[in-house]
Amino acid sequence: MISRSSLLIRFVGCLFLAVSVALAQKPHEGQKDAFSLVRELDAAFVRVADTVSSSVVVIEVAHRKGDQAAAADRLQGEWFDSLPDEMKRQFEDYLKKQQEDANPEEDVDPEEDVFDGKGSGVVISDDGFVLTNYHVIEGASLIRVRLQNGQSFSASVQGQDPQSDVAVIKIEPGVATQSFPKATLGDSDKVNVGQFAIAIGAPFELDYSVTFGHVSAKGRSGVLRTVESDQDFIQTDADINPGNSGGPLVNIYGEVIGINTLIRGMNTGIGFAIPINMAREISEQIIESGKFTRARLGVGIETLVENDDFNRFLPAVSQGVIVSSIDPTGPAADSGLQPADVVVAVEGVPVATAQQLKNQVRSKSIGEPVKLSVVRMDQRLEFSVAPAEWPSRNVVPKISKKKQRRGPSVSGMRFRSVDDEMIALFDLDRTDGVVISEIERDSLASRSRLLNPGVLVTAINSIPVSSLADVVEAWAKVDIEKGVLINLIDPSGIPRFEFLKDRGN
């Protein structure tokens, strides 16, 4: 909750802004005085709190006492790992206290359901579907929700999408015909940085706390550590604390614009909410079918403008999404796409960031071809990929640690032709290209995490190489100060690319 001093500072700030605006305007008949403007603003906040709180629920979750790993499991994963150490300790202390309060005695039936977790949610349909975070209900054996009027109900999980941290639960009313107050969902695409943002939830067991601030930024990605996470967060300085997770972030009109999800440290004024358009897209499918089927192209991606050297190297494009790798068992494997291709549009819709590409692909029909507009060096190309359902497993590359014989070297990479010795040494299952036999210490190539012994190099600056002579000929055309594009296949069989550039000392 906002402290009195913090609230006073913000109120004075709003008052100063209103007075400044009023004084800057030319007087005219019927003009409202500055204090009238402040009273209207104050009334707007009160109206939002009154209107939205009725659709907010406090979610309590239970776990089996006998599941000794339950508490530890809930304090793992990307949402928890992304928190600062201080915040992790507070979460751990908070959970420990809940468990101690729920279990004053040590001798407890291992099959007993213990309510040891708490979060927030928002009702999105009058028949009781509630939108919340996946990490709020993860691993729960029982769920109950409490409305602002004090009514309490059991609830069950309708479905979840861990990659976006979205989940939907269904209230199980005692009376089948009961109708629940639902929230009004806004349009997060129309949210503007700087506008008011109001968070409602149950932080630290302080139910129905209302805090306010502003939208600090949009389109925040990379907040969590794993690249598979669907991250398109709204950043806000409205106070969000443990227990706020799953609750709504709303605008001054009382429309839900996001689902509060993460914070970056205590008292930092940095919180993150899932945009309501993404949450609505996922929740609608969950309500309809009980799960969210996420489409995938089977490619690793990164934003071009975030790779400055490679961006400068490409002659024909300045914005887009780099294909950094291709899953050899994925839907794009036989599409014609290559690592280092830059996707600039999906079905004609321009994409400039990795998250924008994810947004365009996420809900595509499984098996229905999607047209990708691509730039390859100075060529404009189009490819068609039929998305597959996102798999539950991850491909983990194998890195050989065997010793290698020395061979010809360029920029610290020593190459060998793919022969029986190399196939046996590196357990290769394909023969196209040349194999890196050694990376010289402190060389340009040693700075790369992808260029390792056992890696097959298939092209240099888009020139195919299948022999040592090909490497020497292609490298003779390389200006390493401008950079060189290396297409490769890693030890797990995944096509990727690396861009090397000598930046000097």
Residue numbers annotated as active site: 135, 165, 245
* Cα 242 from Cα 261, distance rounded (Å): 9
Instruction: Fill in the amino acid letter for 74.
Output: R
- CB burial string 43-64: b at 16+ within 10 A, e below: eebeebbebbbbbbbbbbbbbb
Q: Which pairing describes strands 434-439 and 456-460: parallel, antiparallel, or unpaired?
A: antiparallel
* Cα 210 from Cα 49, distance rounded (Å): 7
Q: Where are the beta strands (DSSP E) in 192-298?
A: 196-201, 209-220, 233-236, 248-250, 255-263, 271-275, 295-296
- For 24-50, the three-class secondary structure string (H helix, E strand, C coil) is HCCCCCCCCCHHHHHHHHHHHHHHHHH
**Which burial class, exposed, middle or buried, applies to 480 when counting CB atoms under 10 A from its CB (0-12, 13-18, 19+)?**
middle
Residue keyed to tokens 């969000």: 240
DSSP state of 382: E
> Encoding tokens for residue 378?
């100075």
* Cα 217 from Cα 193, distance rounded (Å): 6
What SS3 state is found at 165?
A: coil
* Cα 437 from Cα 65, distance rounded (Å): 53
